[in-house]
Amino acid sequence: MASFEQYPRDWNLWYTSSEPEHAPLPGEWENGCNELQKMLIVRSLRQDRISFCVTSFIINNLGPRFVEPPVLDMKAVKDSTARTPLIFVLSPGVDPTAALVQLAETLGMGRHFHALSLGQGQAPIATRMIKEGVKNGHWVFLANCHLSLSWMPQLDKLVEQLQVENLHPDFRLWLSSSPHPDFPIAILQAGIKMTTEPPKGLKANMKRLYQLVTEAKFSRCTRLVVYRKLLFALCFFHSVLLERKKFLQLGWNIVYSFNDSDFENLMSLYLDEYEEIPWDALKYLIAGVNYGGHVTDDWDRRLLTTYISDYFCEGTVNTPFFKLSSLPTYYIPRDGPQASYREYINLLPPVEHPEVFGQHPNADIASQISETRTLFDTLLSLQPQVTSSTATRAGPSREEKVLELSADVRQKVPAQVDYESTRKLLQDNPSPLNVVLLQEIQRYNSLLHTIRTSLTQLEKGIMGLVVMSSSLEEIFQCIHDARVPPLWEKAYPSLKPLASWTRDLGQRVEQFARWAETAHPPLLFWLSGFTFPTGFLTAVLQSCARQHNVSVDTLSWEFIVSAVDDNNLLFPPKDGVFIRGLYLEGAGWDKKNSCLAEVEPMQLVCPMPTIHFRPVENRKKIAKNMYSCPCYYFPVRSGGAGGPSFVVAVDLKSGAVPYDHWTKRGTALLMSLDN
């Protein structure tokens, strides 16, 4: 602390630098710390840079080969025998089928290569293929074993039989599977395992795609110039979709396994058949069918449509050096032979700026922080589960720590709300909002009861008074790691660590306790405090429909963002409700002009002013300058086991830029954060 006070300007410069791990530390810290201690300082102040520190630490101490992804070497087949299964461990965006077919052709096994994608009803065919392959010396490739887990025990037995049967020496069994805990360990131990990661970065992906495009494919259309420009745009589109997943929730709500088979190029057919370029047909074929077939989330589909409209338009073929991004480096090069396109790709920067994807530089920080968390969660999970006697002498044991934390949580957990007296108080007024209040009280009381009971049982288990069941073991481990036990997350999803989750629970219960006590709804509703916010919003619409004697189906929302502080909101609105406590991710808020604006550097979320949710009848279509902003219950936008995370779409003014700018930014409202 003394150093922060002594050198505030130097520390601020260090903190805001783009690469603090390479910047000298202020004062005496630079010479007083070794490499590991510097990493601890970066870990405390700039979590997003930890993966870079760890990488250079490994290179300096172990060597670079430990951080470079291995190249997939199909020649492993030479080291294998007919008894050894060859297993591809899949990662998103990688499909080894094409490389395997090529290898079979090269080694003269093309006519004896048989592939099958596993799934429902494919088990008998797979069994027959293996038996025939053993006899006749075929190569058998069973793809996507993770989609047929129920058949894996039988496959395990078949692989076991291979060890004792008489086999044709040319027989090989190839398997591919995504990592899954239920994949048989015996097969993994018996086989040769291979894995490959898709190349990282836009440049590497485009280089790889242009290697897949043969000279025949490159010039198979009668309208060559138009075709080659569109082919380049398609390569860029494919690479952007693949690379966008590095931004996690700001990239895609759900991670899709787009792969090379989606890059099936059918454009030449359309260009040869039509005089005018059929833009709508091309866009539908690419974004609606080839790639859109993977996409299951409506907001992700909107993003896909935005990208395809940007890259496939009249400008793509008519404007020289058509820009594919707001950065000057990325454009469609002058037409020429395939080598000239490859040459242009080689000149692209090796690491792309987030703006290429339409993202803010902050998007990189968010994904790097998430990577750091995953790294530390993995390290925590590798900690020894049993306390050794030497460690006990050094400080309190695991059991003592958990007992202390458990007592602390029990003390901070709020008391239950009196459901019966609230029900009696409200029985003369069964309005939709009062029904919601009673349901919320029931859910929270049930959760509070579960927490207290499980903590009491855990303390008894640690003292040896009851047997430690597997569920108590899980609670013990979670409390030790300061995580929320899954048993407590049944009421509502959250990513908060245990301490802030407990504080948040107290605030949630307090909102309903006060409402129950006064029998008056609050002036400002904290929407995040509801376990079922969609039910609450429906109740508001129902109340309005009864009040104005209209059908609830004709009502929808209008959103008015407050321009004044919450202290100045003294009376509830005539129609609808005031909602507070939302956060904007992927954008900032311009209070003066009441519209979306660019976020400040290193500010990952921005608190949103109170919004008036006002029910209106037969609402007009959304205006051009409005961005339909999805609002999610918690940062995992795809939802969890409890259901979807999406709650409502809030229309916000898009400000000085078109609304699709915010679509590419991944801008959304969040009801709760992860800390």
Helix 202-212 × helix 224-243 angle, to 10°: 130
Q: Of 258 and 501, which is predicted with more confidence?
A: 501
Alpha helices in 522-570 (DSSP H): 533-548
In a domain, 385, yes or no: no
Same domain, 332 and 460: no
Q: Residue 259: which pLDDT band, with cuts at 50, 70 and 90?
A: confident
Task: For residue range 136-171, list pLDDT tens digits in order.
Answer: 999 999 998 988 888 899 999 999 988 888 888 889
Q: Residue 214: which pLDDT band, with cuts at 50, 70 and 90?
A: confident
Q: What is the pLDDT of residue 369?
A: 86
Same domain, 265 and 295: yes
The alpha-carbon radius of gyration of the chain (Å, integer) is: 30
Of 40, 670, 14, 595, the residue nearest 366 (C-alpha)? 670
Q: What is the pLDDT of residue 661?
A: 95
Same domain, 531 and 604: yes
In a domain, 388, yes or no: no
Same domain, 415 and 509: yes
In a domain, 480, yes or no: yes
Task: For residue range 605-637, list pLDDT tens digits in order.
Answer: 999 999 999 999 887 777 788 999 999 999 999
CATH code: domain of residue 249? 1.10.8.720
What is this structure's pTM?
A: 0.83
d(CA 222, CA 467): 77
Task: For residue range 496-525, list pLDDT tens digits in order.
Answer: 999 999 999 999 999 999 999 988 899 999
Same domain, 514 and 548: no
Domain count, the chain: 5
Domain termination site, one of 307, 336, 357: 357
In a domain, 379, yes or no: no
Q: Is the pLDDT of residue 13 over 80?
A: yes
Same domain, 138 and 272: no
Domain termination site, one of 32, 66, 100: 66
Neighbours of 250 (CB within 10 A): 26
Same domain, 534 and 670: yes
In a domain, 468, yes or no: yes
Lowest average pLDDT, out of 92-96, 448-452, 489-493, goes to 92-96
Residue with tokens 């007009």: 620
Ramachandran bin of 645, using left for φ above 0, alpha for ψ from -120 to 50, beta for the remaining angles? alpha
Same domain, 272 and 168: no
Q: Is 667 exposed, middle or buried (0-12, 13-18, 19+ CB in 10 A)?
A: buried
DSSP bridge pairs for 628: 651
In a domain, 124, yes or no: yes
Contact between 600 and 668 (Cβ < 8 Å): no
Q: What is the pLDDT of residue 387?
A: 57
Mean pLDDT over the full length of the chain: 88
In a domain, 112, yes or no: yes
Same domain, 94 and 15: no
Q: Residue 261: which pLDDT band, with cuts at 50, 70 and 90?
A: confident
CATH code: domain of residue 626? 3.10.490.20
d(CA 492, CA 533): 10
Lowest average pLDDT, out of 80-89, 193-202, 321-330, goes to 193-202
Domain termination site, one of 44, 66, 88: 66
Q: Residue 77: which pLDDT band, with cuts at 50, 70 and 90?
A: low
Q: Is the pLDDT of residue 265 over 70?
A: no
Same domain, 227 and 349: yes
Helix 123-136 × helix 152-162 angle, to 10°: 10
Same domain, 453 and 573: no
Q: What percent of the chain has pLDDT over 90?
A: 45
Same domain, 344 and 415: no
CATH code: domain of residue 90? 3.40.50.300
- Spell out a b/e string for 483-511, using b for 16 or more CB atoms within 10 Å of the CB, else e: bbbebbbebbbbbbebebbbebbeebbeb
Q: Is the pLDDT of residue 388 over 60?
A: no
Give the residue-averaged pLDDT of 198-212.
83
In a domain, 669, yes or no: yes
The parent domain of residue 430 ranges over: 396-520
d(CA 174, CA 166): 19
